[in-house]
Structure 1
Amino acid sequence: MKLTKIYHSQILKAACLLLMVTTAVLFTSCKKDADPTTSKPVKTFVLVHGAFQGAYSWKQVKEDLEKQGQRVLTVELPGHGDDKTDPATITMDSYKNKVVSTIQGLTGKVILVGHSMGGMVISATAEAIPEKIERLIYVGAFVPANGQSLQELSLGDPDSKLKLILQPTAQGTIEINDLSKLTEVFCADASTALKTELLSKYRPDPIAPFAENVMLSIGKFGSVNKSYIRTINDLAIGLAAQNKMLTAAAIKDVYDLQSSHCPHLSKPVELSNLLVKISN
């Protein structure tokens, strides 16, 4: 009888211990699920490349953002990458319309990111559909004031090495006159493999968008939140020019990357982390 009581007592203690452990696990799990601070909110990023590149150039950044649970779309601008549109027919509106159509097919607002020339494109897009954009993020990018062109901004940059290697062609394009200088100006700090890929996929750019004025208004473009990531070691858009543009646009949310003109190639993880930080 005494042994039976001891046996029953041991079973009761074991059952109580199991119940306590189970309750603790369930409580911890529920608390974790209910706490919104344990995970970052998912955002939709739309990434717009710059001149002489294509959507492929965002590959590493796209993969890293997706690993962090973000939704990412990369835009292939007409006449770039694998797009076969005749360069002579392409305008800034062609670029803007491609981005607008991409965003219009999405639910909710997006974080619209532009690199280099892509800054002109995302600005024009914000003017067209400000209600669809949560924030513009410029990455070593051109930021036009109302009525400015990329050509005007580039020629006004005394530190730019890019304008020294550009030349127009009879085919309605603008090209790099010395390809050996392309990676030096764009991504001197990138890996050899990425430099090789950039050169292998190089295509001259349509020339018309360089000279076209981008028309912006305070009520539309001016109403969208903006951030700027300065590329400190940039040889294509000098730091002084970056500062001048972001100041003119009254952009107060400014971040720095110790990178060349193309941090999406040379520092993709750092850039991805910064994009998520800014978006939150």
Structure 2
Amino acid sequence: MQPTFVLVHGAFANSFSFAPLQAELGLLGHRSVAVDLPGHGFGASFTRAYQAPQDPGGLAAAPGAIKGVTLADNAAHLIGTLERAKRNGPVILVAHSRGGITATAAANARPDLIDRIVYVSSWCPVRLDVNDYYAEPEMAGVDVGAFASALAGNPADLGLLRVNFRTANPESLAAFRAAFFADGTDEQFLTFLNTFQPDENLDVGGSADRAQAATWGRIPKTYVRLADDASLPLAMQDRLIREGDELTPDNPYDVRTLAGSHLMWLVDPAPAARTLGELATLPAPSARA
């Protein structure tokens, strides 16, 4: 039976960024659903102060709909989508970037709804919480401070993380491009940047949300490495794979690699669509044994 690909976006992103990938999947004969997590997509807040000419003071103070949204909220929303998709047959859950945290939490809670989980350069915490991984050697080259000039408002006051992606500050734009899309053209970069929303929630989970061997560990899993990713470096991707394999040695990752940056696989989606298409016919490890 044909599986449904359920696609989960990363931070500041939404279902819109999956449109080119979904087109490629559809042309290959595959069914897909792109999820908007709570406070994303048409549920996001785009204050008037974010429009040009921008009002920096208003942008720093305006409330956002994503305030108070938790990882548990994200997981519950995703589980609802998985339940509906599962009625139509097998489900392949695909997560990108920060979306991997939500996918992992959903897999911990409802492994019965997922026939394969696919991480595309995304977080699957095993030994540490996500914030703690940023202090590890594999993340040493990631300049998280480069985004400071584009931060709007105090996260503690707003109850959310707000970034001004419509800034004209050349240092901020250069930092965004280096982190996400150094291999794209200026036009592609700015186009993708304008699909981002300014607000993201603050909850990246804790120890209870790390991958659990008894539940998450039962699901066949694939990790798609992005070889030129600067925001989640290859060394950290490989560490997450290694830690997942150590947690479930009888159910190791099926590992694939795509060339490109954190976002190139979505801008030039044909290679990723072919890779995902191969997974649609891949038997579970128990069936291969």
TM over 0.5: yes
Q: Which amino acid aligns with 2:279?
A: I
Matched, 1:149 2:144: no
Which runs of 5 or more structure 2 residues have no equivalent in the other structure? 45-63, 165-171, 246-251, 282-289
Matched-pair identity in %:
27
Structure 1 residue corresponding to 2:141, chosen from 145, 159, 170: 159
Query: Aligned in 2, Cα 1:183/1:127: closer, same or farther, shift over 3 Å?
Result: same
Residues 60-209 of structure 1: matches in 2 within 5 Å? Answer: 60-84=20-44, 86-106=65-85, 107=87, 108-145=89-126, 148-156=128-136, 157-162=139-144, 164-165=146-147, 169=155, 170-176=157-163, 178-209=172-203
- Residue 261 (structure 1) aligns with: 262
Matched, 1:58 2:18: yes
Query: Aligned in 2, Cα 1:230/1:134: closer, same or farther, shift over 3 Å?
Result: same
RMSD of equivalent CA atoms: 2.2
User: Looking at CA atoms only, which structure, 1 or 2, has the larger radius of gyration?
Assistant: 1
Write 1 or 2 for the structure with the bigger share of helix.
Answer: 1
| Residues 231 and 257 in structure 1, CA contact (< 8 A), matched pair in contact too | yes
| Residues 146 and 175 in structure 2, CA contact (< 8 A), matched pair in contact too | no
What is the CA–CA distance in structure 2 between the aligned matches of 1:61 and 1:125, rounded to whole Å? Answer: 23
- Residue 275 (structure 2) aligns with: 274
| Residues 260 and 266 in structure 1, CA contact (< 8 A), matched pair in contact too | no
* TM-score (structure 1 length as normaliser): 0.78
* TM-score (structure 2 length as normaliser): 0.76
**Deviations 1:7-60 (CA, angstroms, capped at 9, x unpaired):** xxxxxxxxxxxxxxxxxxxxxxxxxxxxxxxxxx63210000101211111111
1:125: how far off? Answer: 0.9
